[in-house]
């Protein structure tokens, strides 16, 4: 009888714990697209934080990177939940001029940047230093050649 009560209590605690944890698990959105936004008016880290907070509140945004010096906002997002124009509009509402410069697949971004969206950059490898794959900042400003089309 005592074992039955103990087993029931353990099961009840386990079910309760799993139920509570289920509410804290974030929906597993994936970054199936990467939007590169040309953004002006950013002057400091506070601007970066404001943009990151604004975009982070949108359902479907997985990762946000802001290069204040280069004028780029790079957003990994789920295209079934958001359009890239909605991302630029959210940045505008936060107080910065922003337009969609380019939309990439995660693989295209990896080829240009040498890393995945949201992955930490190496020391000194920020967009302004050309560490993202190109001498023109983060490599996103490069023109597509006929051969690549």
pTM: 0.65
Is residue 6 a part of any domain in this protein?
no
Per the structure, the complete domain to which residue 37 belongs is given by 33-104
Dump pLDDT digits (tens) for 61-87: 999 999 999 999 999 999 999 999 999
Overall domain count for the chain: 1
Give the whole-angstrom CA distance, residue 63 versus residue 83.
15
Phi and psi at residue 4, to the nearest 5°: -65, -45
pLDDT level of residue 25 (50, 70, 90 thresholds): very low
Is residue 129 a part of any domain in this protein?
no
What CATH number is associated with residue 68?
Answer: 3.30.70.100
More confident residue, 5 or 24: 5
More confident residue, 78 or 30: 78
Q: Which structure tokens are listed for 120?
A: 């930490």
Is residue 59 a part of any domain in this protein?
yes
Is residue 147 a part of any domain in this protein?
no
Is residue 133 a part of any domain in this protein?
no
For 58-75, give one letter per residue: b (16+ CB within 10 A) or e.
Answer: bebbbbbbbbbebbbbbb
Is residue 77 a part of any domain in this protein?
yes
Give the whole-angstrom CA distance, residue 62 versus residue 78.
7
């Amino acid at each position: 009888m005592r074992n039955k009560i103990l087993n029931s209590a353990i099961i009840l605690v386990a079910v309760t714990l799993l139920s509570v944890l289920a509410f804290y698990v974030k929906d597993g959105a994936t970054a199936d697209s990467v939007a590169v936004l040309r953004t002006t008016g950013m002057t400091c880290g506070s601007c970066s934080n404001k943009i990151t907070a604004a975009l982070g509140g949108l359902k479907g945004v997985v990762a946000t990177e802001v290069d204040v010096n280069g004028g780029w906002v790079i957003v990994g997002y789920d295209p079934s939940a958001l359009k890239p124009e909605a991302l630029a509009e959210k940045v505008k509402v936060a107080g910065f001029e922003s337009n969609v410069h380019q939309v990439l697949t995660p693989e295209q971004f990896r080829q240009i940047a040498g890393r995945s969206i949201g992955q930490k950059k190496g020391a000194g490898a920020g967009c302004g230093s050309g560490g993202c794959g190109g001498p023109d900042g983060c490599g996103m400003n490069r023109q597509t050649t006929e051969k690549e089309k």
